[in-house]
Amino acid sequence: MLGYIFEVIKDEISYRREWARRAALPPPARETKPSPAEPSLGMRILSPPTGPTSSTAPLNNWSHPFGDRGNPLQQLTQLADAQAGYYPLGRNGMWHGGVHLDGGTTGPDALSQVRCLADGEVVAYRVPEHTPLSTFFPEAGGTLEAPFAAGLVLVRHRLQAPKIDGSSDDPPSLTFFSLYMHLEDWARYLTDPALPRPNFWPENPVLRVKPDVPDRMPGHPEQRGANVRHNNHQGQVIDFLPVGTPVTISGNGDFRKLENSCGPSSLLDEEGALLGYVSFSLLAPIAAGRYRVNVIRDPLIVREEPDVRSAKIGELQKNTEVTISGEGEFRKLESIAHYISFKSLQSERKPLVFDGVVVLDQPAPIKAGELIGHLGRYQECDETAPQQKLHLEVFSNDDVQAFFAASRAWAQRLPDTNKTWLKLAKGTPVAAHQDRISSSLFPIWNHDNPRSDSDLLVPKSLLDGLPSERKIQVPTAASGKTYNWYRLDDLLHDADGKPLNGWVREEVGVTPWVSPWSWEGHEVLYNYALPQLSLSYLLSVTGVLGEESKDRLRERAQKWDKGRMQTRLYEIIDRDRNGKMTADELQGALRVPALAQALAQLVIFSESEWNYRQSKWDALDEVLGHTNSAPILNWVAEKQRIKQLSWWGEVAGKVGLPKEGMVFHFHPVGLLSNFTKIGRLINVEDFLRQYEQVHTMFLPGTPSLTSQSRKNLEKIIIAINDFYELAPQGTNIYEVSYMLATVRHEAYHFTTREFFSEKPEVGSYSYFNKYDPVLAQSADLRERAKANGNVEEGDGYKYRGRGCVHLTWKNNYRKFSKLLSFDFVSNPDAAAKFEYSIPIMIVGMSRGLFTGRKLADYLNSKKVDYVSSRKIINGNDEDVLIASYAKRFETILERTSSLRVEFL
């Protein structure tokens, strides 16, 4: 026993000595003064003390792990709905360096795929072959085999401030890591072949039949799959492979030779050997051992035995290639060449190893929003069923204090356009809303208005997105002052924690706007407390172990309660310090935007929970009352689970992390929120501003952009945002660029010089006779009209081109009536309105409903072919011109949207 205690003490002394070097100076006080204009030498960002310096490219894009495009404050407050796993305390009262996202925070339907937080590079991952199990012992008796998803991905990123025009100075940067825990096992991918696989898994020679292939099994039209043909030039169908069938292939071209079977399934026995015999005289030699079926008209019969009287078991088409064996007239079939369309296959990726952590020799680049993996099953000892939850974590081994100082100094040199957060300081008056308030009758502002009780940073994207009736711009008065009023609900609160709903006033040039690079409100705390202190506090305040345990735990509980992290939590949540500080109090505070934001601004230097040290967890035995003679079996199982989930020791030294596990932890959603460009897919105001600058450059002689054309374009961008609000991963920058290019071309009303117009196709009534079943000049035109649903006189004019793609013909109006649940046949003019014409365009171009060609045919992972994309709408009419438009829109969207730049 003495030796065991000595080892524990020795471990802790060694551990603390190592980090005393990095914490020789006391933690700095919270910064209250502005940073100096220029960084001193002391502000220099230090290189990571272990491992090689990262060459990771600076990130450009961010993405919520589940595609949430709510405003940044909403993304923080919805974390209160997680079942557990808050930052920086977990339900167990102990330090928790990340956040949990589960069915409560996102809704169960949104948990299908985990996406990468930001551009970076995957440095390590772990995929269990099967999800491991813990054996727990419920109070009701018996045992519980509880799964705990152990899959993980670790991504390295580099955050770098924007460069300053005209300056050669290097911007400050920070290397950080994002961690994704509790991911799915390999068995899930085997049982669901259609499940997409991460691109950082290596490819292997095995491909699988895609889930969206067009071919259908004969007699079973509900069964998709791929036809197998007898040659590589669109030959006869001789077999069918269902979706998910694994194959290996050889060759090049549209059709590739199947190598994993020796012939069509109809001629294979149970062990996969080829059956049958063929007449040697009807074969022509090609090369050594290979022959081609040389028949004139009828197929070559395959017989069960080498006898002309034997039963027919199949047939081979002319020019089928075979290999044979034996002698005589009938030879044994050894292989039959058969081919499959390469487009019907998808690559199969597979982890290098299972269960252990893979540290990549060459990190794999990954983009924001790209697939990380899928959530696995995780069950605690007190849960009746497994849950799905993502543990998301962000941490850095760089000197964050130095980075903050350098970044704040840098922010002072950046242009004002980088200031994207409006600071509503504590004490901001809130004027109650009255129905009479309008742009001509302003809210009443006075010192008697109730005031907010905390600082709050409000993102520009949220203010830009307010409806017109919720924001008022007051013209500059004689005093020279200009004001903006915003009606905000459920954002500010008073001293009692009650919401303050109403109008707040921005005095332009006085009310501060801040840059994300100023790290307003962020502070660094240092947490060296061991888990037994925090657990003692939780057990003490909750009384779980009974009154007699409080005396035993009191000293350790008090140490935790007086620690710097706990003290700061009291300052944010319970300033009077008249309560207790547990995960329940933290959860309540997360529902208040200003408090959730303040918690998200805490950067905490602490040991990673994934750095396994047995002594750290064994030290909790005494706190819990676990002994060898009176064991707590669930605690024994939990410690084994902790050990299996840990990974730090396998990875740290190979990727530039300290082996001791002490790093700076950021609130992951808080960091994302700080730098998210926009609240929606496309930032409307930024897009319009960028477009106005280049409008006349699209084509020589382009008329200037009128106010009406600008309003039209604004409506279009808003409609695109609205369409993709519920499916943010449903498109990418290339598709939207080409759709906007199409609108610019198709919806130009040349008689009024109005761009992006809702007006229908230009022409007199008689101009549209060419679409009419009665008035058209030729029989061919009249038949064409009828074939497209125009069957009554006047239909040519009635169903003329409208909307973003100039929807024409009654059949198309009828088709989209069914798809969009609106009667365009009776109300054809509605098809011109952007609220309908944008969905018509997106659905039609995505599904190939206009010409049979769709966006994915030309815009995919193998090519971005804007020129050929014109075939989706109208052959090759002005294809090069519209392609040039698409490139310009792509450039604008790169700067003003969070659209994906990769293909899923």
The one-letter code for the residue type at 583 is A
Q: What domains can you pick out in the chain, each with its CATH number?
A: 2-190+352-403+522-675 (no CATH), 205-346 (no CATH), 428-514 (no CATH), 684-896 (1.10.530.10)
DSSP codes joined into one string, 549-574: HHHHHHHHHHHHHTSHHHHHHHHHH-
Give the chain's length: 904
Bridge-based pairing state of the strands 321-325 and 330-336: antiparallel
Strands (E), 342-482: 345-349, 357-366, 371-373, 389-396, 421-424, 456-459, 471-474
Q: What percent of the chain has pLDDT over 70?
A: 91
Secondary structure (3-state) at 455: coil
pLDDT of res. 110: 61
d(CA 770, CA 760): 16
The one-letter code for the residue type at 759 is K
Q: DSSP character for 228?
A: E
Q: DSSP character for 733?
A: H
CA dihedral 408, 409, 415, 420 (to 10 degrees): 10
- 180 to 452, 673, 774, 899: CA distances (angstroms): 36, 18, 65, 22
| 704 burial type by CB count under 10 A (0-12 exposed, 13-18 middle, 19+ buried) | exposed
Q: CB atoms < 10 A from the CB of 570, how many?
A: 17
Give me the residues of the chain with pLDDT under 50, please: 1-53, 678-679, 728
pLDDT of res. 504: 93
What is the sign, positive or negative, of the torsion defined by CA atoms of 186, 188, 191, 193?
negative
d(CA 480, CA 671): 37
Bridge-based pairing state of the strands 662-666 and 389-396: antiparallel
What is the sign, positive or negative, of the torsion defined by CA atoms of 432, 434, 439, 443?
negative
pLDDT of res. 680: 65
The answer to whether the pTM exceeds 0.85 is no
Q: DSSP character for 449?
A: S
Strands (E), 709-832: none
Helices then strands, counting H and E runs in the chain, come out as 25, 37
The tokens of 384 are what?
């009746």
- 765 to 321, 453, 599, 768, 794: CA distances (angstroms): 62, 65, 65, 6, 9
Q: Are 632 and 626 in contact (CB under 8 A)?
A: yes
d(CA 186, CA 149): 11
Q: Which residues pair with 506 in a beta bridge?
A: 484
554: alpha, beta or left? (left if phi > 0; alpha if psi -120 to 50): alpha
